Amino acid sequence: MKAIYPHKKSKYGAEKATFNGRTYDSRRECEYAQTLEWRRRAGEIDIVIPQYRLGLSVCGVHIADYYVDFKVFLPDGTVEFHEVKGYETADWKLKWLMAKAIYSDVKFVLIK
Tell me the pLDDT tens digit for each residue of 47-69. 999 999 999 999 999 999 999 99
Whole-angstrom distance, CA of residue 41 vs CA of residue 96? 29
Domains present along the chain, CATH in parentheses: 17-111 (3.40.1350.10)
pLDDT bin (cut points 50, 70, 90) of residue 25 is: confident
Q: What is the pTM of this model?
A: 0.85
Residue range 77-100, pLDDT digits in tens:
999 999 999 889 999 999 999 999
Contact assessment for residue 37 and residue 46, using Cβ atoms and an 8 Å cutoff: no
Please provide the size of the chain in residues. Answer: 112
The b-or-e profile of 32-41 (16+ CB within 10 A means b, else e) is bbeebeeeee
If one counts every other C-beta atom within 10 angstroms of the C-beta of residue 55, the result is 12
Lowest mean pLDDT among 22-26, 43-47, 52-56, 76-80: 22-26
The b-or-e profile of 71-89 (16+ CB within 10 A means b, else e) is bbeeeeeeeebbbbbeeee
Q: Mean pLDDT across the chain, nearest whole number?
A: 90
